[in-house]
Structure 1
Amino acid sequence: MSHQKFMRLFAKWHIWLGWLVGFPILMWTVTGLIMVWHPIEYVRGNHLRAELPAVETGALVMPQLTGPVQSVTLQSFPDGPGWIVIEEDGGRFRYSPEDGRLYNPVSEDHARSIAEAAYAGDAALEAITYFPADAAPMDLRTPVNSWQARFADDTHIYIHTQTGEVLAVRSGWWRVFDFMWGLHIMDLETREDTSHPILILFAALGVIGSLLGCVLMFRRRKAKVKA
């Protein structure tokens, strides 16, 4: 096969690949543009988190533990400091730094006060909703029992029901970003699988189409110069 026939064949493949991967390439470009519109700190809702005070260490009391644990850490929380203990089986609990006793599970009223203390925005708190681990909302991404505090500006603050930890701050823009991310990786169900056959196939076809376009571009440029 002559060189010109190869070029015509490449041009034909390039056109068909363009039709096939044109929409995914446009989708990747648009979703990528939207995802970089704001800094990642803004997407994560850092501007909506109240600054936590430093922990006073003058009169700390160690937690009253009876068995082996994976870790014990001292942390600051919206409602005061506490020891976070991760037990051998992965269980996560909070203990008081004042007397070492186990922290009581978070009630609805307590969750409300934690959410209001953790929130740095101006919107009103509209609702507190409990979600069991097996029905965790999509924007939480963690299968744990939690309280969802929903504010009027569409901000969701998730609070661990056992420890009172703020698990996540999800703004309306975070959910836009999350949807764009799902489109970008072609996984709208879990939005976590970045290596699946459909994505790999379209990415590979996009690379092949781009390479064919580069070959054709230099070939046509050379032909024009000769003419």
Structure 2
Amino acid sequence: MGIQQTMQRFARWHIWLGWLVGVPILMWTISGLVMVAQPIETVRGDHLRADPALIETAGLVFPTRIGTARSISLVNQVDGPAWIVTEEDGGQYRYSATDGTLIPPVIEDEARRIALAAYAGDAALETITYFPSDVVPGDLRLPTASWQAHFADGTNIYIHNSTGQLLAVRSSWWRVYDFMWGLHIMDLQTREDTSHPVLIIFALLGVIGSLLGCVLMFRRRKAKVRVKAQGQD
């Protein structure tokens, strides 16, 4: 097979691959552009998080009847400092750092106060909603019982039901970013699988199409130089 015939075959393959991977390439480009339009700190909602108050450690009481623990941390909450205890089975509980007693799960009034203290924006708090662990909001995707505080600017603040800790801050821009990320990795369901056959196949086809285009580009350039030289003769 001559070089000319090989190039013609490459050209046909390049065209067909262009039709096949054109839409995914456009989707990757647009989604990538949207994802880099804002700094990642803005996407994460760092500007909407209020800085926690410092903890005065004098007089703190450590809980003594907690059994075996995987980790223990000291945090400052709206009602004072607390110990967050993660047990061996992964369960989390909180204990008062002033008297060592177990603090019950968060109720609506406390969730409201936690959200207002954690939020650094200017919008009004509109709703407080409880979500059990088997009903997970789309912009949280953590199998944990939580409270959602929804603000008028579209911000959702999620609070751990057992510990009162801040689970996530989800702004309107975060949800746009999250959708574009799902498009980018071709996983709109979990938006976590970055290595699945569909993505790998289309990426591989895109690479092959690009390589064919590079080969054809240099071949056509050589052909133009040859025609120009013949014209001068």
Q: Normalization by structure 2: what TM-score?
A: 0.95
Deviation digits for residues 11-60 of structure 1, max 9, x if unmatched? 10000000000010000000000000000000000000011112211222
One-letter amino acid of the structure 2 residue matched with residue 213 of structure 1:
G
| Separation of aligned partners in 2, 1:33 and 1:81 | 43
Gaps of 5+ in 2: 228-233
CA RMSD for the aligned pairs? 1.0
Does residue 1:31 correspond to 2:31, yes or no? yes
Q: 1:77 Cα shift?
A: 3.4
Does residue 1:74 correspond to 2:107, yes or no? no
SS at match of 2:89: coil
Q: 1:66–1:82: structure 2 CA closer, same or farther, 3 Å change rule?
A: closer
Partner of 2:93: 93
Q: 1:117 Cα shift?
A: 0.6
Deviates more, 1:6-15 or 1:98-107: 98-107
SS at match of 2:103: coil
| Separation of aligned partners in 1, 2:68 and 2:22 | 57
Deviation digits for residues 101-146 of structure 1, max 9, x if unmatched? 1121111011011101110011111100000011110111211000
Deviates more, 1:94-103 or 1:153-162: 94-103
Q: 1:79 Cα shift?
A: 4.5
Deviates more, 1:147-156 or 1:91-100: 91-100
1:110-121 aligned at under 5 Å gives the runs 110-121=110-121
| Higher radius of gyration, 1 or 2 | 2
Partner of 1:56: 56
| Separation of aligned partners in 2, 1:95 and 1:41 | 32
Partner of 2:184: 184
% identity of equivalent residues: 69
| Separation of aligned partners in 2, 1:68 and 1:110 | 28
Whether the 8 Å CA contact 1:64–1:101 is kept in 2: the answer is no
Gaps of 5+ in 1: none
One-letter amino acid of the structure 2 residue matched with residue 222 of structure 1:
K
One-letter amino acid of the structure 2 residue matched with residue 148 of structure 1:
Q
Aligned length: 227
Whether the 8 Å CA contact 1:79–1:114 is kept in 2: the answer is no
| Separation of aligned partners in 1, 2:27 and 2:149 | 33
Q: 1:199 Cα shift?
A: 0.6
Deviates more, 1:75-84 or 1:42-51: 75-84
| Separation of aligned partners in 2, 1:217 and 1:40 | 37
| Separation of aligned partners in 2, 1:87 and 1:53 | 26
SS at match of 1:148: strand
Whether the 8 Å CA contact 1:93–1:163 is kept in 2: the answer is yes
Partner of 2:123: 123
Q: Normalization by structure 1: what TM-score?
A: 0.97
Deviation digits for residues 73-113 of structure 1, max 9, x if unmatched? 11233543221111011101111111111121111011011
One-letter amino acid of the structure 2 residue matched with residue 130 of structure 1:
Y
